[in-house]
Amino acid sequence: MDKFNAYVDANAERFIAELQEACRQPSISAQKVGLEEMAQVVLERLRRLGAEARLIEVEGAPPLVYGELGEGDRTLMFYNHYDVQPPEPLELWESDPFDPQIRQGALYARGASDNKGNLMARLQAIEAWLATRGELPLRVTFVVEGEEEVGSPHLAQFVAEHRELLEGADGCLWESGYKDPAERLVITLGLKGILYVELRAQGAAQDLHSSWATIVPNPAWRLVWALASLKDEEDRITLDGLMDHVAEPTPEEMEMLAAIPFEEEKLKADYGIPRFIRDLSGLELLKKHLFGPTCTICGFKTGYTGPGGKTVLPHEAVVKVDFRLVPDLTPELVMDLLRKHLDRRGFTDVEVVDLSGVRPAKSDPQAPIVRAAVEAARAVYGREPVVYPLMAGSGPMYLLCQGLGIPAFSTGVGHAGSNIHAPNENIRLTDYIEGIKYIGELIRRFGG
């Protein structure tokens, strides 16, 4: 890989300039700003590599950029997104979020890490490969959507309409990742799924004077009682049947957990909490965090919530609840369990509204793509990466990968202080250049 790495180093300045160009184009999905323009930028960069590339339209979505190039026994899919989070609050940025500046070895811009830095590193690595090693040793596909930051609302439709573009891939590099505070590359093999619902209860036709609370049902109490049946004071989910479907981590996964550095005291201080739930620590804490399902009240709205007192009997109550799903829970299963659980307890009046759901995704640590990912990390970074068998967060990885039998992993060019989704998002230039080399090494190892 000497020639490859030498090419990357020789072209580092241009690669960084190209990333700056990409970051200069706003592409904010939540605000529908610059998406078509950004899709064109990605399309042209792919075509410049010689890829067969095109825009794919799904009704209601900004164009998805699809590209493929190379030939070989294996296919490696790159999943990325060209949209970014809104830059607000602008006053907290030290420089314009869409005017990428370099300060003290880091590039500051919205999207620098999430996800333009990662997308561009992957594209630059292909260029360097073609320039120094000729043909790619495998087939590469790019799936670059423009709605990841708003929850990928049209990705399922894309998969349904273009399954043939995805099926048969032998591995997928998911969008992003970072180095932890100890500068170890983080590789993640899965994401939790999620079911997001609203529970709604109705009382009288309108708010009443609270003196009627003696005899007129209060929807807020209905929801409190329904919720209290779902989780106990020890934070154990008591929804009938749910825990029966939760897979225990394998011994191999427990070993992976044991190898993950987890700064408990720093986290407690950062979050301002005296203790974690049930006072957990160590491996039990990490096991619950990564392999535990959740049932979370994200919001509760009923009655009067302004200052002081108002003696009102609310006519309606709504609670927003998310369930983070670990293997082998699915949104469909949990919806069904939830409805039955409530009905069994007489809460037939509590409506359950399904707002969204994605399945959990998890890749076999022994899958060739995962082995290649870890080996490439050792080779490029010179030390063992941290491998998370599952992350605490969620994303549509199952939809695009595991659901089609494609093992996937995620890593990228960020660092612990990259401030993704926040002001002063940045990557370090050395991480970016190393990240390009990492992609080259991955292609070499996975392409054989």
| Contacts to a second copy by CB under 8 A | 192, 194, 196, 203-206, 208-218, 220-221, 224-225, 227-228, 231-233, 235, 271-273, 276-277, 280, 285, 288-290, 292, 294, 296-305, 308-314, 317-318, 320, 322, 324, 345-346, 355-356, 391-394
Other CB atoms within 10 A of residue 142 CB: 24
Closest CA to 432 of 416, 415, 409: 415
Closer Cβ to a second copy, 18 or 351, answer by number = 351
Residue 132 or 202: which CB sits closer to a second copy? 202
Chain centroid, CA 91 distance in Å: 27
Closer to a second copy by CB, 227 or 254: give it: 227
DSSP string, 191-251: EBEEEEEEEEEE-SSS-EEGGGGGTS--HHHHHHHHHHTTB-TTS-B-STTTGGGPPPPPH
- Residue 142, helix vs strand vs coil: strand
Task: Name the amino acid, one letter, at 154.
Answer: H
Half-sphere exposure of 156 (CA within 13 A, CB side): 9
**Cβ-based nearer residue to a second copy, 97 or 314:** 314
The whole-angstrom separation of Cα 444 and Cα 150 is 34
Q: How far apart are alpha carbons 50 and 60 in whole angstroms?
A: 29
- Distance of alpha carbon 238 from the chain centroid: 27
Give the CA dihedral 248, 194, 153, 302, nearest 10 degrees. 180
Helix 429-447, helix 116-133: angle, nearest 10: 60
| CB closer to a second copy out of 106 and 317 | 317
The least CB distance from residue 151 to a second copy, in Å, is 8
Whichever of 285 and 413 has its CB closer to a second copy, that residue is 285
Q: What are phi and psi of 258, to 5 degrees?
A: -60, -25
Which of 31, 210 has the CB closer to a second copy?
210
d(CA 162, CA 160): 6
Distance CA 245, CA 347 (A): 23
Cα–Cα dist 197/325, whole Å: 13
Report the nearest approach of a second copy to the CB of residue 183 (Å): 23
Beta carbon nearer to a second copy, 142 or 388: 388
Cα–Cα distance, 251 to 171 (Å, whole number):
24
Strand, coil or helix: 357: strand
Task: Pick the closer one to a second copy by CB: 43 or 386.
Answer: 386
